Amino acid sequence: MSVELILQGGGINWKKSVAAIWRARSQRLRPVTRLDLVSLNDLLGIDRQKKLLVENAERFLSGKPANNALLWGARGTGKSSIIKALLNVYSDQGLRVIQIDKEDLLDLPEIVDELINEPYRFVVFCDDLSFDEGDATYKALKSILEGSIELPPENVLIYATSNRRHLMPEYMHDNVQSKVVETEIHFAEAIEEKISLSDRFGLWLSFYSINQDQYLEIVDQLFGKVADQRALHAEAIRFATSKGGRSGRAARQFYNAFSGKL
């Protein structure tokens, strides 16, 4: 069965469903029935990133030019959550999200073809995106980001999260052929190829590890008022140490493990 038949014949009622996940084995979009109800106010320490992504989303929804977005940086810092929160804010204004795994990006052009005439605005979301050396699936993503002979659709944007700034592995030997010509850096071909993919994202948002005060602020927001805040903070710090670092994700996991106990 073709992608077109799956999307149109037995496809999504976008009036009722605000999000879907691409299932490559069955070649269909599955509606999301249980949304993560995270809100932008739940995400602390990333005010700049929220502001820029909200501005981009509002331009997109109003029909103005908007950018594909790459959210890169440390793990557990809210990269994925901020996109879920955007959907919760703007789904009533026509925003829809389709999540696709990196391994299924070869299906992306056909999926996008079936969205062009829909009256909604779609964010195609690829979480934890990166490519190994020799992986050619990124070429399908390139064509959607900036088009080929055909312009990219006006009602589709790509939002990706990654731990890698340029999405692809970078090695010291890649720099051997780089040179400086009249104070200008001319990158080697290997580096140019790697930068060319991430460069197609017009909005770059960087996420960094949080300090202890920011971590405890998130913990306090999750727990609310407790009888002994010092004991709460001591347990939270121990938990983060056992996890190997402080992050919003670690704070949420600490809450899941200790809520009701302290």
Read off the pLDDT of residues 155-211 as tens digits, 9 standing for 90 and up. Answer: 999 999 987 776 665 444 444 455 555 565 444 444 455 566 777 889 999 998 889
- Spell out a b/e string for 13-34, using b for 16 or more CB atoms within 10 Å of the CB, else e: ebeebbbbebeeeebbbeebee
Please tell me the pTM assigned to this model. Answer: 0.79
Q: Are residues 78 and 41 in the same domain?
A: yes
Whether 183 and 254 map to the same domain: the answer is no
Based on the fold, state whether residues 22 and 44 are members of the same structural domain: yes
One domain for residues 196 and 234? no
Q: Give the CATH number, domain containing residue 103.
A: 3.40.50.300
Q: Are residues 188 and 234 in the same domain?
A: no
Residues 141 and 110 in one domain: yes
Say if residue 254 is in the same domain as residue 174: no
Number of domains in the chain: 2
Question: Are 198 and 165 in contact, with CB atoms under 8 Å apart?
Answer: yes
**Across residues 7-20, what is the average pLDDT?**
78
Q: Would you place residue 76 in the very low, low, confident or very high pLDDT band (cuts 50, 70, 90)?
A: confident
Whether 181 and 244 share a structural domain? no
Average pLDDT of the residues of the chain? 83
Residues 195 and 254 in one domain: no
Q: What residues make up the domain containing 148? A: 3-207
Residues 67 and 120 in one domain: yes
